[in-house]
Chain A
Amino acid sequence: KQEVTQIPAALSVPEGENLVLNCSFTDSAIYNLQWFRQDPGKGLTSLLLIQSSQREQTSGRLNASLDKSSGRSTLYIAASQPGDSATYLCAVLFGANSKLTFGKGITLSVRP
C-alpha cells in the first residue's frame, strides 16, 4: 500500500530557529511531491511542487528536497517566524494517473 508518513505530528520551536519537517513515502517511483500549508479553519495552500526529476525547490525562506531512493522529502524553513505557525502537509503522486496521497501533516507552532 502506498503511504505518506509525517512524524512528528506536532512541533514547537522558538522564533528564529531553522527547522526541518520530514515526509517519508513507501514507493520510490513517484511522479511528483507537493508541500502544502493549512491554517486553522482554512483550505490548503500549495507551497512547493517537486517533480520526480528534481532534487529540490526553493521559495523565499522555504526549501524542499526530494530523495526518491530513500523515500524522503524535507521542508526546510529558515529563520522561523510566528506567522509560520500552521499545519504542513506533504502529498505524493505515485503515478501520473493516480491520486495525490496526503500525509496527516505536522502542526508547527513558532513561539515569539
Chain B
Amino acid sequence: IAGITQAPTSQILAAGRRMTLRCTQDMRHNAMYWYRQDLGLGLRLIHYSNTAGTTGKGEVPDGYSVSRANTDDFPLTLASAVPSQTSVYFCASKPSGTTDTQYFGPGTRLTVL
C-alpha cells in the first residue's frame, strides 16, 4: 500500500524556471489538496480538487497552477519560480463522503535561488 507519493523529494531550482511537483495516490480518493508549509505559519492551502476534472483556489494560489486529469494524479506547477516559493509542499487526499480527514504525502522540499 503506497498511499500518497510525491516527487521529487527535494529540489533546488533557479528563479524563473518552471517546475512541476508530482503527486499520486492509489486510494481512489476523490478530493486532493496541495499545501505549503512555512516556519511559523503552519500549512496553507494552495489549490484543491474535489473530483477529477475540477479544481479550486485555496488561500495562497498565486504563482501556482494545478490540473486533475484523472483520480490518481494532481500535479502542481510553478510557471516561473520565485524565491518566496521556497517551502515544503505537501499533497493530501480525502475519500468521498462526510469525513474531513485528509491523508498526507511525505512532502517535497523546494528551494528557489
Q: Do A and B bind each other?
A: no
Where the two chains meet, the residues of A that have a C-beta atom closer than 8 Å to any C-beta of B are none
Where the two chains meet, the residues of B that have a C-beta atom closer than 8 Å to any C-beta of A are none
